[in-house]
Amino acid sequence: MEDERYMMRITDRLTGLAFGGDYNPEQWPPEVWDEDIALMIEAAVTMVTVGVFSWAMLEPSPGYVDFGWLDDILDRLHRAGIAVDLATATASPPPWLVRTHPEILPITRDGLRLYPGSRQTWCPSSPVYREAAVTLAARMAKRYGNHPGLAMWHVGNEYGCHNAHCHCPVSTVAFRRWLAKRYGSIGALNDAWGTTFWSQRYRDFEEIHTPRLSPTFVNPTQQLDYARFSSDELLECFRAERDVLREITPEIPITTNFMVMQFSRNLDYWRWAPEVDMVSNDHYLDAADPEAHVELSFSADLTRGLAEGNPWLLMEHSTGAVNWQPRNTPKMPGQMARNSIAHIARGSEGAMFFQWRASRAGTEKFHSAMLPHAGTDSRIWREVVELGKLVANLAPIARTTVEADVAMVFDWNAWWATELDSHPSTDVRYLDRAHAWYRALWQHNITCDMVKPGESLEGYRLVIVPTLYLASEAAASEVGRFVKSGGTAVITYFSGIVDESDHVHPGAYPGAFRHLLGIRTEEFVPLRADQTIDLDIGGKADVWAEYVHLEGAEAVARFVGTPLDGWPAVTSHRFGDGTAWYVATRTDSSTTMALAHRILTASGIDTAEYGSDVEVVTRSGSGGRFRFIINHGAEDTAIGVAGHDLVTDRAVRPADTVAAGGVAVVHEAPDDGDD
Ligand code: GAL
């Protein structure tokens, strides 16, 4: 990632933070554009994303390009002082491309061809799609590379949202090519896939298929490699467009909007992030989750991890309801602002939305927007205008970075591998423990960085390793090194079990972490769907238990009741100068919270200041420290710090309050910093 490029260019066009959203003027007659721009000015919009789904409008027939309308809108936006994040428009090919090349349509694992009529109807390995997309991107770059309003390129859109997996003949050949590159020889592949099992031994790559529908479970390493391949194929599509943009417009930063959120696991973003000039992300709440704001924080922290701690950009979120969940409930008053400010607190250089004006037609007509169907006489519009002012006031935090003492190891390979079939229990889900432990930290007002397995953990005091089922030797050693030199690690069940090829680490469970944890698991005991198990420290657990032998560790909690009565449920082990904890069961939320409290205290991390509904994050830089206090609760809360509140533009003392549902961003007075 070339952070410098981003900073250099974006700050030319934007002072402060970005505020705006996807703008689809092609859905409206030009008369509406004047009103759009006037209202954007009213809402203090600084940047819009244009052209994401406009391929069919820009290239109405093969080779014929109509840039007229886009020229016009870009000029209007520029005159109004609004920067443009310009899409290469390649997310969804026009019907004519599919008509002339039906082979670009993806095929599902059970052999069904997916037809046009929605979006992203293309196979990630299709050379026809790639060539057409790169040609359009090059045309866009030549046409708009020198446009003074162009702030950055937005390549494609949410790669892999709908078309991550294709099993067509072209994909099959591409998969074989990818495997040949990964393994070098068919023998190496046979070893890695363990093909002596079930008579799966291959003589050459031509015999291999993508993991199609088969009579029963497909080889797990084949499935895992296919997930890796699918992510890489889309990355190649991104790279192809990016390279041509870089060649023609080397000074314009390039992004593509990631989908780091609970609904999305198709791409290995650790591999994607170094390829963009600036990480940007889309995030949507699960309307059914009463604590969706905690998942928001998790995703924002993970996005910051991908950006290696550098500023990133929230490219899309919603002002209210979406249209694609079973029940699309609106946001409550104030919730949109809290969501936007939470992303900014966690490193986003602004808050962008899908979309500017609610569509009249199409699938997303009931999706909320900055300008809803109800028009300007609406709560959403009033809140958008207010938020625009607030984001403008936050200009001093631009380019500051987020402070964190705690890290979590997160991995897409582990996610894919954990959720493969033929495992001890289908109830073990990768995000479950990650979210549970993150939530316990969040409720203690602790900010958490997200780290790729194997990356240095130096500088943190506590590291959480949730469900790292797939753990390389390198990843396990780094956790070991961290603990040895005085850190505290918490490792949850079904971690350290297999290597990168999904082969069980030799010896007893939890293989890669066994010595660090000072334990030996003899056997897993997945629980029935409705079964719970008591713990001697109080509280209950479900889903999972194990027969754990202590080999140097001590039992902090034990199971109560048959068949595990008296067996260790939570252990802790002094290792070098630090401590490694193991949680061998799925503790309920209050037990997880209590354990987190105990571990945080033992690690010397201060937790007490704010209530559990209050989100507190600090960004700092050469201009000082900025404490974000986001009150998700129903009670007012003390602001807890002296300084200048950028939200209200007034001096504050620690005893002043942040109203229920409100936010404060305090530029801390130098003497009151809590360093
Ligand atoms: C995103 C997408 C947008 C829009 C939005 C609706 O997945 O990038 O184009 O569809 O969701 O929530």
* Residue 155 Rama label (left phi>0; alpha psi -120 to 50; beta): beta
Separation in Å, CA 537 to CA 555, 557, 564, 595: 11, 6, 15, 10
Residues 6 or more apart whose CB falls under 8 angstroms from that of 485 comprise: 458, 576, 577, 578
From the CB of residue 227, how many other CB atoms can be counted at a distance below 10 Å? 24
Residue 471 one-letter amino acid: A
- Cis bond upstream, residue 222 (ω within 30): no
Give the number of the atom of ligand 1 that is nearest the alpha carbon of residue 259.
7
Which of 403, 555, 578 is CA-nearest to residue 478?
A: 578
495: nearest Cα among 577, 595, 408: 408
Any ligand 1 atom below 6 A from CB of 354:
yes
* pLDDT given for residue 8 in this prediction: 44
Closest by CA to 457, choosing from 433, 430, 484, is 484
Using alpha carbons, list the distances in angstroms from residue 671 to 440, 489, 643, 647: 30, 33, 9, 21
Atom of ligand 1 nearest to the CA of 53: 9
CA-nearest residue, atom 2 of ligand 1:
158
Which of 262, 263, 282 to probe ligand 1 with, by most ligand atoms within 8 A of CB?
282
Distance (angstroms) between ligand 1 centre and the Cα of 155 equals: 15
Residue 384's identity, in one-letter code, is: V
Q: Which of 246, 215, 117, 228 is nearest to 164 (CA)?
A: 228
CA-angle at 455, arms to 449 and 461, nearest 5°: 50
| 140-148 CB contacts, 8 Å cutoff, 24+ apart | 140/51, 140/58, 140/86, 140/88, 140/89, 141/244, 141/245, 141/248, 141/249, 142/248, 143/67, 143/71, 144/70, 144/74, 144/86, 145/248, 145/249, 145/252, 147/74, 147/78, 147/84, 148/78
Atom number, ligand 1, closest to the C-alpha of residue 322: 12
Is any atom of ligand 1 closer than 6 Å to the C-beta of 268? no
322 lines ligand 1 (CB under 6 A): yes
Q: Is the CB of 546 under 6 A from ligand 1?
A: no
Which residue's alpha carbon is at the smallest distance from atom 3 of ligand 1? 354
User: Phi/psi of residue 46, each to 5°?
Assistant: -110, -20
Residue 596 φ then ψ, to 5°: -60, -40
Q: Distance between CA 31 and CA 19 in Å, rounded?
A: 24
CA distance 297 to 438: 9
Cβ neighbours, 10 Å, residue 426:
11
pLDDT of residue 50: 98
Which of 55, 158, 257, when mutated, tests ligand 1's pocket best, judged by the most ligand atoms within 8 Å of its CB? 158
CA dist 284 and 292 (Å) reads 9
283 alpha carbon – ligand 1 mean position (Å):
9
Ligand 1 nearest-atom number relative to CA 158: 8
CA 353 to chain CA centroid, Å, is: 16
Chain position carrying tokens 């949410």: 158
- Cα distance between residue 480 and residue 491, in whole Å: 11
Residue from 256, 318, 354, 357 whose mutation best tests the ligand 1 pocket (most atoms within 8 A of CB)? 354
Taking CA atoms only, the protein residue closest to ligand 1 atom 12 is 322
Q: Is the CB of 337 under 6 A from ligand 1?
A: no
Residue type, 374: A
Report how far ligand 1's centroid is from the alpha carbon of 486 (Å). Answer: 44
Active site residues: 158, 316
Is the C-beta atom of 416 inside 6 A of ligand 1?
no
Residue nearest to atom 4 of ligand 1 (CA): 354
pLDDT at res. 340: 98
Going from the Cα of 354 to the center of ligand 1, the distance in angstroms, rounded, reads 6
353 Cβ below 6 A of ligand 1:
no
Q: Quote the CA–CA distance of 20 and 5 in Å, as a whole number.
A: 21
Q: How far apart are CA 342 and CA 354, in angstroms?
A: 17
The interaxial angle of helices 379-393 and 335-345, nearest 10 deg, is: 30
Q: Which two tokens stand for residue 273?
A: 């992030």
Evaluate whether 405 touches 446 at the Cβ level (below 8 Å). yes
Distance 128 CA to ligand 1 centre (A): 25
Nearest CA to ligand 1 atom 7: 158
Long-range contacts of 419-425 (CB under 8 A, 24+ apart): 420/220, 420/223, 420/224, 420/502, 421/217, 421/220, 421/223, 422/217, 422/220, 424/494, 424/524, 424/526, 425/526, 425/527, 425/543, 425/544
Q: Which two tokens stand for residue 388?
A: 């625009």
Q: Establish whether residue 316 lines the binding site of ligand 1, counting it when its CB lies within 6 angstroms of any ligand atom.
A: yes
H/E element, 580: strand 578-583
Could you write out the three-class secondary structure of 382-406? HHHHHHHHHHHHCHHHCCCEECCCE
Regions in the chain scoring below 70 on pLDDT = 1-14, 608, 671-675
Strand partners, 540: 534
How far is the centre of ligand 1, averaged over its atoms, from the C-alpha of 73 (Å)? 22
Residue 300 tokens read as 């924002």
Q: Is 594 exposed, middle or buried (0-12, 13-18, 19+ CB in 10 A)?
A: middle
Nearest CA among 279, 183, 181, 81 for reference residue 501: 183
Check pocket membership of 355 for ligand 1, CB cut-off 6 A.
Answer: no
Return d(Cα 616, Cα 631) in angstroms, integer: 9
Distance CA 12, CA 292 (A): 35
Say how many Å lie between the CA of residue 256 and the centre of ligand 1. Answer: 13
- Ligand 1 pocket residue status of 232, Cβ below 6 Å: no
d(CA 161, CA 261): 12
Cα 569 from chain centre: 31
**Angstrom distances, CA of residue 652 to CA of 390, 617, 675:** 17, 17, 19
Give the phi and the psi of residue 357 in degrees, each rounded to 5.
Answer: -115, 130
586 Cβ closer than 6 Å to some ligand 1 atom: no
Dihedral of alpha carbons 109, 115, 118, 122, sign:
positive
The DSSP secondary structure of 461-473, one letter per residue, reads SEEEE----B--H
The CA-based dihedral angle spanning residues 605, 609, 611, 615, taken in that order and rounded to the nearest 10 degrees: -70
The number of the ligand 1 atom at minimal distance from the alpha carbon of 52 is 9
Distance 514 CA to ligand 1 centre (A): 43
Q: Nearest C-alpha to atom 11 of ligand 1 is from which residue?
A: 354
Element (H, E) at 15: none
Q: Which ligand 1 atom is nearest residue 318's CA? A: 12
Backbone angles phi, psi at 84, to 5 degrees: -125, 130
Pocket-testing residue among 120, 161, 263, 364, ligand 1, by greatest number of atoms within 8 A of Cβ? 364
Q: Which amino acid is at 71?
A: D
Q: Which residues pair with 401 in a beta bridge?
A: 620
Output the CA 317–ligand 1 centroid distance in Å.
9
Tokens representing residue 171 in the block: 């994909």
